[in-house]
Structure 1
Amino acid sequence: MWKPKVTWLRIGLAAFMLYLAPAASFAQDKATYQVPPKAIADLVDAPNTPSISFSRDGEMMLVLERAGNPSIEDLAQPELRIAGIRINPATTGPSRTGGVENFKIRKTRSGDEIQVKGLPAKPKLSGFSFSKDEKFLSFYHTEADGVTLWVVDMVTYEAKQLGDLKVNMVYGNATTWTPENTIIVKAVNPKRGTMPQAPLAPVGPNVQETSGNAAPSRTYQDLLTNPYEEDLFAYFMDSQLMEVMLDGSQKPVGAPGMIKGMSLSPDGKFLMVDRIQRPFSYLVPASRFPYDVEVLDRTGKQVKLITSRPLDEVRPTGFDATVEGPRSISWRADKGATLYWVEAQDGGDPRKQMEEREIIYTWDAPFNGEKQKLAAIGYRFGGITWSEDKNFALLSERWFASRQERVSVINPENPAQKPRVIIERSSDDIYNDPGSPVTKTNEFGRSVLLKKGDDVFMTSEGGSPDGSYPFLSAFNVKKKEQKILWRSEAPFYERVVRVLNADATEFITLKESTELQPNYWLVNTKRRIAPMQLTDFENPYAAIAGIQKELVTYSRKDGLNLSAVIYTPEGYDAERDGPLPVVMWAYPREYKSAEVAAQVRGSKHTFTRLSWGSPLYWVTQGYAIMDRTEMPIVGEGEIEPNDSFVEQLVANAEAAIDYIVERGIGDRNRIAVGGHSYGPL
């Protein structure tokens, strides 16, 4: 019979006083790190399953073997928390990062696997990126004193370091391949000097001024607080763009500066660069500091200053508030060198009623002419997915306050043609989600729509009252009808990760079940042959393979349907063994519709994964786990969800507790509630 293993620690006042009294006798004792019960430690130390990254055509797989949990030495590395970012000052990179310790190349169809040779000692690898022709593969290696750039020749499978430069990984992307198989790198400025030293005494008081006007502001972590931290931020952002050749030679591109991002045009002739400017702010993170957007030619000469974005400290009220002026500036994927962006026409204020709330513009290189209006929308801009057909693209827009989203067909060659809405829905409605467009790679190496006639291929989570059953479909943009081409079937949870041909009849899926570790499969629906398994990763959590998992639904007192996933120990029977202590894991979410809030989310067929923050470790200690416990906060019409936040939160918790207690699984007097961020409220 299954026996619960619950340990309780009770320290009385008398014992506590006895502990404190002889404090001096313990003063020299060295504290050590404590370890959890062996069952938990074994799960924490379980080997990581390799992750997979596919080449553009899906014919090659990178098998990335990730390192285990970080050591105490890794966690003890210095960390700067400034301007909303966390920096390891020794490496000019992010702090607390993991990495890949080995990787192999596997041929997708044959299964042949090649070990890459010449990897650095004690590898800590990241940032894998194929060249446009996929003859080379670049990656980063984090060393004790910085991040170096490496490249693999995909003919010899030999890796080597490129040059002696150090990559600046503090903020934004750091490398991009050119069509000529050179790499543009955001390197640490070799002339930046030494790190600023903290003054022995502050140069003066910290003073912040206000105009006296009320202004909404989010709460941010790790903001700048004094002039010394400003100097530190400027020092670590100081970068020099370098073009690095495959022989390791290099040359500077443009002037150094506080470069936060760069993007090469699809034809490789122009480089868009974002440069942070002063003044910095103590109220918002680096992402909202002033910055210039400029376009350089490949020699580094400025072709055009596109815009100078001011400090973004104060915005109008509302989640749909945004900034004035150009934003979301990007290269069109279907043209050699054309920029596009959006500009709010309402001053960024969602309270203003406007038919043309935002306008999308385009501008062709070399940017001597006038910008061209591409389309006008009534919500906030969500993005554009381009296609090889220059007369066709999909434009998305959304409005957070009402949770509405639209997808429209636009004709980039005829901007006078009004966008034609093909999808309009609640973004929270998973039962009627047609999905996201499938893309392929075009002549420029950029992602564009996979399209056949009037059909756009889509993948969706496939939400339903029985849980999620992902599918692949063809969405007809003229008829606004969707035809399901393939769908996951019980008892598996399977989703398409890469479509391999033009008519979407061959694709790669990631397939799992409650007992089967996720693995990749090759599926062909046209030839009607059995799917071929591509990977065979073992279950790293065999010790808990027998735990019981159940997707359940229940109602709160106002009739709203809720759901959760309950885990109980292997062999547990409520009627026989009695109620257990419960760990309930939750995260409140706001909805504008009770009907949508009541939808079942998740799948009962997914593999049980463990992460550093998972509550599932405690199932080994005799606890029942109520995971993904739905906590919807609903506000319909003019009523906002948070107008009755506490009342609804209590009602959700009461419903969950009543359900697990009435099932005989949970002990009402031994229930703990936790969750990330918003969750433990």
Structure 2
Amino acid sequence: MKRFVSCVAPVLFLSIFVFSLVANAQGINNSELREGYLTPPESIAEEVLAPRHQNVSLSDNDISPNGEYFVNTIEASQMSPLSYYAKPYYNLAGLQIDHLGNRNRRMTTGATVGLELINSRTGAVTSIETPENARITDPTWSPDGSSLAYFAHFEDATHIYVANLGNEDGLQRVTNRPVLATLNSSIEWSDDGRFIFTVTVPENRGIEPVKPSTPNTIQVRKTTTDENRLRTYQSLLKNRNEGDLLEYYVTGQLIRIDLRNEEIRKIGKPAMIQTVDPSPDNDYLIVRSMQKPFSYIVPYYRFGWTEQIWDMDGNMVTELRTSEVDTGIPDHDEVTDQGREDIKWRPDGQGLSLIITPDDENEDEEDGGDTNNDEEADKEKDKEEKLYKIAQWLPPFGEDDLQILYETKDEMESVSYNEDADIYFVREDDDTEHVYAIFAGEADTTFTIYKHEEDDFYNDPGNLVYIPGSGRNIVYTTGDESQVYLRGTQYHENYSEAAPQPFLDRVAIRSGEKERVFQSSSDVYEEVTALLDEEASNLVIERQSSSMHPDFWLYDSASENRTKLTNNVDYNEAVTQARRDRFKVKRADGFEFWVEVTLPSDWDGSPLPGLIWHYPREYDDQEDYNEGIRDYNKNDFPGIYRRSTEILVKRGYAVIDADWPIAAERGSSNEAFVWSIVQNSTAVIDSAANRGYIDRDRLAIGGHSYGAFGTANAMIHTSFFKAGIAGDGNYNRTLTPMGFQREPNDLWRGLDKYLEMSPIFWADRLDGALLMYHGEADQNVGTWPIHSKRMFHALNGIGKTAAMYMYPHEAHGPASEETLLDLWTRWSNWMDHYVKNLGEHVTEAELNAAEE
């Protein structure tokens, strides 16, 4: 048997010691009991390890503002090795910090090692030189598209490098001190491309706070006076020392780098900076900073903050908005915004744009005082129209510097601009989405771009197209600024037969007249990725079908010719092109839903052992379900990923991907959970068996997260399944007492439902062999690793057949190469033993022979 050797081979400690005694007696192959990382059969490994990372995906987020190039990241491998995830880090209130590198942990675990440019018109590839032994993230174009800045992450530091596309001088590192990329992890260019703004490790920072060897504090918690339905967050600050650590690692120095001479200017004092947005004239910044006090009951992203305008010396000019700690108290408004919304710099450099909302203070106050005057007061109130206003706020941002540009009684959601900011594009959304334009100096006249009823799904007009890379939400207009573009998708009522058709329309602003520039064909799914010029004469589109791997093409609007730009490869062809059948099934209650079965390419018509992979989803009724699947695309290419269970067709299984509706009136869906699990299973199995796809006596069910919860319930409340695979699940709803999914009641108001749905309370009824896997570092709300540990303890104690695999350093879903290969080994062995071979003993020699 060929073995695939991983980059790192640490020892995996699996909590199966007690189980191993029982397992050996039952004849499970010994490889299931090994504590080291395993590698699966070659037929599986080649699909998991397929070099899909070598394919190119182009996006309008990656195109240069001048439309010449896409930047593409180069990955070293399909998956990062476990050693990346095993590097030490702090988890402080849910913020994972690589404290050795002073950055967010995600920057350490990534596998990007380089960058390349792809010409948007020819597809020609140009490499960008990057520093050796560094991982690369966050490539960011300069406003004119002539330069590209990016983070280079070394073992103990992160720095910013700039690649000047017309400069052959090589690498240019522009930071003299390490970047602090913990809270603020973006690179901000000035609009003229002269400056870069970032946050660095402060000078004279000192050593990190040291945890005392003998505790000098205790945990003190006190309930709030109001009901507080917080979710069960796992990684919260435990004590004052962790709070000090968090403050230490998120406090940084805001700086401005002059790229002409690499001069560094410090802006203000070190602060806990979250976001930075420089004004187009380079005189001011909008800075949002996290504020103390910290909280022990919510994660860091719910801590308080303040948003201010600073000058370039770091002096606060004015405060825009503040927020208290969001502790989850219902109807408590933590944000104080002085009636200001949608605050942003105008693209013409003339101060701020904002929407001023009516003052609703006292609107909901209880009646009081002299009731004889109520009628008169109401009449007086009606005279006072509540108006929403678009305002321009000029420096120095005092009360007298505010100018009202437009006002309406209708509620405005947002306002955007053209490049010169002399056309305003307003969006209102109150059941009817209305987007209209206003020309500066013509505030009495509005020009409708589109009006759309939210429930009119099949006549969606699309959305405004914005200039990529500007960071200013600048609306893309034609050269004479008389027309705009709408990008959307046309869906069809017979969605199972007619595929969606993306389109691009050009709309005359003043007349509303539309012209269709592009529409996807019906037999191939074609989607506009980017406009390359103001007249949309050249577009980049992505093309795919159920049998054609996605690739990117240059589309000529005049000739309608398509020229291929990329040459992506289907590295999983044996699985993507396997036999598939999609059909509708009906439950006993008449509810209908869809199922897709994937079969081996060489299937001979004999019933196969099968796996149902599912994820329960709540729906109000049949109509609600039907509305949720209207965007089905029969021309979608069946992409294969690291945990795609369709890979098991190469081991002779029928893999069933089934919708799993939990249908009941909103607020009571969980009352139908167990019943739906039984009915869904029955309908899927009966239909697949009647078509000859599966052997109903050799079936397994599996799922991840809520799907793991569904798997355990299915094995408890039915006798259909010989085995189950459950990943990162919750098995005891009493540990999430304030609600879960769409459950509106807390534990005490919904005790019967909590108990009925919790597999651990019915573990003695579990039928079949349950494999559970869980990441030891799972941070997901509601699926703490303790769930799997306690469920395994219960199953072991009552003599059920089960195994549990706890994976070091993994979060809510395995990610490292070693873990995924090990997981697939245990999946396939478990399925072979309990499903394909119905629990009969299979020797190592027999397994090797079958694989060959």
- Scaled to the shorter chain, the TM-score interval is 0.7 to 0.9
Residue of structure 2 in register with 1:256 after alignment: 270
Provide closer, same or farther for how the CA distance between residues 588 and 545 of structure 1 changes in structure 2, counting only shifts above 3 A: closer
Report the Cα offset of residue 572 of structure 1. 2.4
Instruction: Determine if the alignment matches structure 1 residue 437 to structure 2 residue 443.
Output: no
* Match in the other structure for 1:625: 655
Residue from 95, 110, 128 that aligns with 1:116: 128
Deviation at 1:202, TM superposition (A): 3.1
What is the aligned partner in structure 2 of residue 189 from structure 1?
202
* Pick aligned residue for 1:239 from 247, 252, 255: 252
Q: What is the TM-score when the length of structure 2 is the normalising length?
A: 0.67
Structure 2 residue matching 1:271: 3-state secondary structure: strand
Name the counterpart of 1:16. Answer: 21
C-alpha separation between the residues in 2 aligned to 1:412 and 1:207? Answer: 58
2:233 maps to what in 1?
220
| 2:457 corresponds to 1:393 | no
Contact 1:266–1:335 (CA under 8 A) maintained in structure 2: yes
The separation in 2 between residues aligned to 1:412 and 1:173, in whole angstroms, is 37
- 2:602, 2:208 → 1: CA distance? 59
Contact 1:454 1:476 in 2 (8 A): yes
Residue of structure 2 equivalent to 1:277: 291
Q: For the residues of structure 1 that align with 2:85 and 2:634, how far apart are their CA atoms?
A: 36
**Residues 640 and 15 of structure 1: is their aligned pair in 2 closer, same or farther, counting only changes over 3 Å?**
closer
- 2:668 pairs with 1:663: no
Distance 1:19 1:424 in 2: 64
Task: Identify the match of residue 168 of structure 1 among 176, 180, 183.
Answer: 180
Quote the Cα distance in structure 2 between the aligned partners of 1:162 and 1:317: 47
Partner of 1:6: none
Q: Which amino acid aligns with 2:550?
A: P
Q: Distance in 1 between matches of 2:265 and 2:50?
A: 45
The 10-residue stretch of structure 1 (644-653 or 36-45) with the greater mean CA deviation from structure 2 = 644-653
Indicate conservation of the 8 Å contact 1:82/1:222, yes or no: yes
CA contact 2:485–2:504 (8 Å) conserved in 1: yes
Contact 2:614/2:707 (CA < 8 Å) preserved in 1?
Answer: no
Match of 2:86 among 53, 76, 83: 76
Task: Give the structure 2 partner of residue 446 of structure 1.
Answer: 472
8 Å Cα contact 2:410/2:428 also seen in 1? no
CA distance in 2, matches of 1:316, 1:424: 32
Question: Which residue of structure 2 lines up, in the alignment, with residue 407 of structure 1?
Answer: 434
Q: Deviations over 1:134-160 (max 9, x none)?
A: 221100111111211111011135323
1:151 alignment partner, SS class: strand
Instruction: Give the CA deviation at 1:363.
Output: 3.0
Give the secondary structure class of the aligned counterpart of 1:41: helix
Structure 1 counterpart of 2:491: 463
What's 1:363 paired with?
Answer: 393
What does residue range 191-590 of structure 1 map to in structure 2 within 5 Å?
191-246=204-259, 247-316=261-330, 323-325=335-337, 326=340, 329-333=343-347, 335-340=349-354, 363-369=393-399, 371=402, 383-388=414-419, 390-397=422-429, 404=431, 406-409=433-436, 411=438, 413=440, 422-426=450-454, 431-440=458-467, 446-451=472-477, 456-464=484-492, 465=495, 466-474=498-506, 484-528=516-560, 530-557=561-588, 559-572=590-603, 576-586=605-615, 588=617, 590=619
User: Residues 630, 154 of structure 1: CA spacing in aligned structure 2 closer, same or farther, 3 A cutoff?
Assistant: farther
Q: Deviations over 1:23-56 (max 9, x none)?
A: xxx9xx9942111222222222222123433212
Contact kept? 1:323, 1:348, Cα under 8 Å: no
CA distance in 1, matches of 2:39, 2:436: 57
Q: Paired residue for 2:153, among 142, 154, 161? A: 142
For the Cα contact (< 8 Å) 1:322–1:349, is it kept in 2?
no
Read off the aligned partner of 1:660 and give its amino acid letter: A
* Aligned partner (choices 160, 166, 175) of residue 155 of structure 1: 166
Distance in 2, Cα, partners of 1:35 & 1:79:
28
Greater displacement, 306-315 / 80-89? 306-315
Task: State whether residues 414 and 428 of structure 2, in contact with CA within 8 Å, keep that contact through their aligned partners in structure 1.
Answer: yes
Count of residue pairs the alignment pairs up: 646
Q: Distance in 2 between matches of 1:30 and 1:624?
A: 28
Q: What's the CA shift string for 1:441-491, capped at 9, x where partnerless?
A: 69x773422346886422224333134332223467788887644222243
Give the counterpart letter for 2:155 in structure 1: A
How far apart are 1:237 and its partner, in Å?
A: 0.6
What SS does the aligned partner of 1:440 have?
Answer: coil
Instruction: Please report how far the alpha carbon of residue 184 of structure 1 lies from its aligned counterpart in structure 2 after TM superposition.
Output: 0.8
What is the aligned partner in structure 1 of residue 797 from structure 2? Answer: none
> Aligned-pair distance for 1:162?
1.8
Q: Match for 1:177 among 189, 200, 222?
A: 189
Contact 1:633 1:641 in 2 (8 A): no
Are positions 1:60 and 2:87 aligned together? no
Aligned to 2:847: none
- Say if 2:616 is the partner of 1:606: no
Identity rate of aligned residues, in percent?
A: 22
Higher strand fraction: Structure 1 or Structure 2? 1
Post-superposition offset of 1:272: 0.7
Q: 2:318 aligns to what SS in structure 1?
A: strand
Of residues 473-482 and 491-500 in structure 1, the stretch that sits farther from structure 2 once superposed is: 473-482
**How far apart are 1:595 and its partner, in Å?**
7.2
* Aligned mates of 2:629, 2:529 — CA distance in 1: 25
Write the letter of the residue equivalent to 1:533: K
Q: CA deviation at 1:659?
A: 3.6
Distance 1:132 1:479, change over 3 A: closer
Q: What SS does the corresponding residue of 1:516 show, helix, strand or coil? A: coil
Match of 2:792 in 1: none
Do the aligned residues in 2 keep the contact of 1:172 with 1:260 (CA within 8 Å)?
Answer: yes
Q: Give structure 1 stretches of 5+ with no counterpart.
A: 1-10, 21-25, 399-403
- Is this contact kept in 2: 1:459–1:472, CA < 8 A? yes
Asked if the contact 1:583–1:623 (Cα under 8 Å) also holds between the matched residues in 2, the reply is no
Q: Whose helix fraction is larger, Structure 1's or Structure 2's?
A: 2
Cα distance between partner residues in 2 of 1:481 and 1:634: 44
Q: How far did residue 337 of structure 1 move?
A: 2.5
1:90 alignment counterpart: 100
Distance in 2, matches of 1:80 and 1:161, equals 28
Gaps of 5+ in 2: 1-15, 367-381, 711-852
Mapped to 2, the partners of 1:360 and 1:666 lie a distance apart of 62
Report the equivalent of 1:37.
Answer: 41
Are residues 619 and 480 of structure 1, via their aligned partners in 2, closer, same or farther at CA, if it must alter by over 3 Å? farther
Residue 583 of structure 1, CA deviation: 2.9
For 1:549 and 1:349, how far apart are their aligned partners in 2?
A: 58
User: Which one has the largest radius of gyration?
Assistant: 2
Q: Secondary structure at the match of 1:87?
A: strand
- Tell me the SS of whatever aligns to 1:582: strand
- Any residues of structure 2 matched to 1:128-139 within 5 Å, and which? 128-139=139-150
* Partner in structure 2 of residue 46 of structure 1: 50
| CA 236–375 in structure 1, closer or farther in 2 if over 3 Å, else same | farther
Give the AA of the match of 2:433: R
Q: Give the distance between the partners of 1:516 and 1:430, measured in 2 at CA.
A: 28
Q: Secondary structure at the match of 2:655?
A: strand
Do the aligned partners of residues 187 and 495 (structure 1) sit closer, same or farther apart at CA in structure 2, a change above 3 Å counting?
Answer: same
1:601–1:111 Cα change, 3 Å: closer
User: Relative to structure 1, is the Cα distance of residues 588 and 351 closer, same or farther in structure 2, using a 3 angstrom cutoff?
Assistant: farther
CA distance in 2, matches of 1:405, 1:618: 46
2: CA distance between counterparts of 1:121 and 1:476?
Answer: 51
Which deviates further from its counterpart, 188-197 or 444-453?
444-453
SS for the counterpart of 1:160 is coil
Matching residue within 663, 672, 675 for 2:701:
672
1:256 positional shift: 0.9
- What is the CA deviation profile of residues 507-528 of structure 1, one whole-angstrom value per residue up to 9, with x for unaligned ones? 1111122333221101122234
